[in-house]
Chain A
Amino acid sequence: MVAMMHNPLRPAQPLRLVNAPPSASPATAHAIIRVEDLSIVFDAPRGQVVAVDRVSLDVMPGEFVSLVGPSGCGKSTLLNAMAGLERPFEGRVMVAGGPMLGPRPDVGMVFQQPHLFPWKSVRRNIAHGPRALGKSKAEALRMADDLIEMIGLTRFANAYPHTLSGGMQQRVAIARALANQPRVLLMDEPFGALDAQTRAVMQDNLLELRDRIHATIVFVTHDIDEAILLSDRVLIMSAGPGRILRDLSVGLPRPRSSAILTDPAYLALKRDCLDLIRTEGRKAFEQMEAVT
């Protein structure tokens, strides 16, 4: 709390440490995602590995938050815990007031790979969630058709996933996750496997989409430009064990486009992020060298 207030960088850019207890911020009462003292430990051949180490964070409703860090820093593990796919070793994850004990339909997930059901057409892939939740076939398909129109794939409604490009498949995966109208959408490097051009288009699409869906989004990436362009807040994680190092607010105006990539405020933010990540990356690399 004290450290937060006296942070010399804070007036210039809204930068704050997040290692303070979650109750420190008065707004946490309304947080849609609360991660409290979360630790996740994996069994590895050489003993246990701490993937996430006593992480606490809050995400406000409607916020777009990115988790950034070097590979192996536990950002995907943290996201999986928010998804209910990973159980806490210590601490807890609350979404919309309830603990995440397993996957929940009000929390959607988009993975790095689209993971579309290969035996279902685009339409039926998107209708899968509503059907699973007990909607009638007609209603599920109607919802699917609306989403297909939103992602601009009407022409491919009856196509099978393997006939689509990687970018199109990932758009279908996003639409499929949105079909359950989740309050929280988790995205695990969703554009990481796409080429640079497709990625830029997908980022623009997501910015547009976001204005229409009103979901809270937590987005994992190792691409700083992507994180700053899309987010309200960027959480920078440190490597092994995974901790949150900095919590940067991105005060850039919306609606945004790739034009902000040359904005001085943007560049200052990016420099901060890069410095932090470079130091962390080196630390992680040296740690790995020391182990082997």
Chain B
Amino acid sequence: MSTGRHDPANAVRRLSVLVGVLSVPAFVGLWELVARSRIVNAVLFPPPSTVAVAVLDWIHSGQFFGDVSASLFRVTAGFAIGATAGIVLGILTGEFRLISSLLSPLFHILRPIPPIAFVPIVILWFGLSETGKLFLVVWGVFFTVWLATHIGVQKVDRGLIRAALMLGTPRRQMLSEIVLLGALPYIVVGLRTAVSISFYTLVAAELAGAFAGIVYRIEIAQQNMQTGQVMGGLAALGLLSFVADRSFAAISERAVWWR
């Protein structure tokens, strides 16, 4: 009989854990080595240590907090407005045929246009103001959430609607409880997709011209050939996006609480 120590499946599992833990440090180490070995130009491809110093400088300069909060505000406010509008209009178009006939064709024409393509016209309309940036994020989030809600509402179990009707459920409660909660599993999936879309559109919005923000800082650093700062900005953006996605995943598991 083989003990746990010599069990081949167990050995593979232990090895996998070890490799998983070492994966990122090994990659960073290799990067440091390659960048310092003069195989590549260290100005264009700085080692991680240089990136770390750049990030520390960024924090000490006092700009880090302002940049992160500016970006975070645009993402969260844009997401909140776009998602709320998407859910409300999705319920209306999903539930009322007349409203759907009025709005759905329009939404289906506008939805496939990548939100980033609206940057030029947004600059014409709003200049470099915050409104323009919010507009882009709201635009990107809205269509995803609207479509998910619209489909979710149409997939609500008709049996639940009939049961609710037979119990005398008033019209308003029918929409705000039976239809909304019946569609919630779909809405949550749409919202999670919209989280990453809100970051895409944030990048476009800040590249178009801003006075603060993580992507704005990346662009300034690029113009000054501060490659370490560019990479530090990318890391900060990646971390922020990762945390947003993870926390949303945790929230969405609790959102459909009856499962």
Kindly specify which of B79-87, B159-167, B225-233, B237-245 makes contact with the partner chain: B159-167
**Secondary structure of the B contact surface, majority rule:** helix
Query: Residues 82-112 of chain A: 1 if any B CB is under 8 Å from the residue's CB, otherwise 0?
Result: 0101000000000000000011110111010
5 contacts between A and B (CB under 8 A): A108-B166, A109-B163, A111-B159, A111-B162, A111-B163
In the complex, which range does the number of interface residues on chain B fall in?
A: 10 to 19
> Given A160-B258, A162-B258, A115–B169 Cβ distance below 8 Å?
no
> Do B170 and A132 touch (CB < 8 A)?
yes
Task: Kindly identify which residue among B159, B173, B184 contacts A115, using a CB–CB cutoff of 8 Å.
Answer: B159
State how many angstroms separate the Cβ of B164 from the closest Cβ of chain A: 8
A118 within 8 A of B: yes
State how many angstroms separate the Cβ of A248 from the closest Cβ of chain B: 28
B257 within 8 A of A: yes
Which residues 16-55 of A sit at the B interface, judged by CB distance below 8 A?
Answer: none
A residues whose Cβ falls under 8 Å from a Cβ of B: 83, 85, 102-105, 107-109, 111, 113, 115-120, 128-129, 132-133, 160, 162, 173, 176-177, 179-180
B178 within 8 A of A: yes
* A180 CA to B257 CA, complexed, in Å: 27
Query: Residues 162-188 of chain B: 1 if any A CB is under 8 Å from the residue's CB, otherwise 0?
Result: 111111111001000010010010000
Q: Which chain A residues lie closer than 8 Å to B160 at the CB level? A: 115, 117
Give the nearest-CB partner of A111 in chain B: B159
Q: Which chain B residues lie closer than 8 Å to A117 at the CB level? A: 160, 163-164, 178, 181
Closest 10 CB pairs of A and B: A105-B168, A129-B167, A115-B159, A115-B163, A109-B166, A119-B258, A103-B165, A132-B169, A132-B168, A119-B181
**A115-B157, A180-B167 known; 10 other A-B pairs, CB under 8 Å?**
A104-B168, A105-B167, A107-B166, A109-B163, A109-B166, A113-B159, A115-B162, A132-B167, A132-B173, A162-B258
* A172 CA to B102 CA, complexed, in Å: 41
* A222 CA to B252 CA, complexed, in Å: 43
State how many angstroms separate the Cβ of A271 from the closest Cβ of chain B: 36
> Do A119 and B257 touch (CB < 8 A)?
yes
State how many angstroms separate the Cβ of A72 from the closest Cβ of chain B: 19
Q: Which chain B residues lie closer than 8 Å to A104 at the CB level? A: 168
Give the nearest-CB partner of A173 in chain B: B163
